[in-house]
Amino acid sequence: MPKARPRARIVGSHARIYTPAATKAFEALVASCVSDSARKPGELVRVDIVVYLPRPKQRPSYMPRWMWALAEPYHRAVGDVDNYAKAVLDGLGSWLGNDVAVVDLRAQKRVSLRPRTEVEVYTMTEAGGTQNGH
């Protein structure tokens, strides 16, 4: 689920800012997927995110036939890819610490018959290297 914008409401004479319940639920789901035995990443982190949304029954008009023939093609489905990445990073917040450590972020939005979100986290080591994929 893409990260929704914060909402505001007036309570008495004060404005209250809150995160929508669906976004909070998705972030909690992401957090629950981190194994208790997962080591915390280092100071510099790379995160790879692939969001697989439900595959439409018909090929979108903008998509070439060769791409539609792929099992899990890229797609301009609902939601901006950066908002999906924000929701995942916020869900990883308690384990990751602070997403300021993320110096390399790669996010993709695809469609599949098996919708899911896949996340890999790496500690950056020497120039261009990574270790400890989680």
pLDDT over 90 (residue 43): no
pLDDT recorded at residue 49: 96
pTM of the predicted model as reported, rounded to 2 decimal places: 0.79
The phi and psi torsions of 102 (rounded to 5 degrees) equal -75, 110
Q: Answer yes or no: is pLDDT of 82 > 60.
A: yes
Pick the more confident residue, 3 or 125: 125
Q: What pLDDT score does 2 carry?
A: 63
- Range of weakest confidence among 9-13, 70-74, 106-110, 122-126: 9-13
* pLDDT at position 16 over 80: no
**What is the pLDDT at residue 47?**
93
What integer pLDDT is reported at residue 15 of this predicted model?
76
Going along the chain from its start, the domains and CATH numbers come out as: 7-34+43-126 (3.30.1330.70)
Neighbouring C-alpha atoms within 13 Å toward the C-beta of 54: 3
Q: Which range among 10-19, 24-33, 113-122 has the greatest average pLDDT?
A: 113-122
Residue-level pLDDT at 128: 55
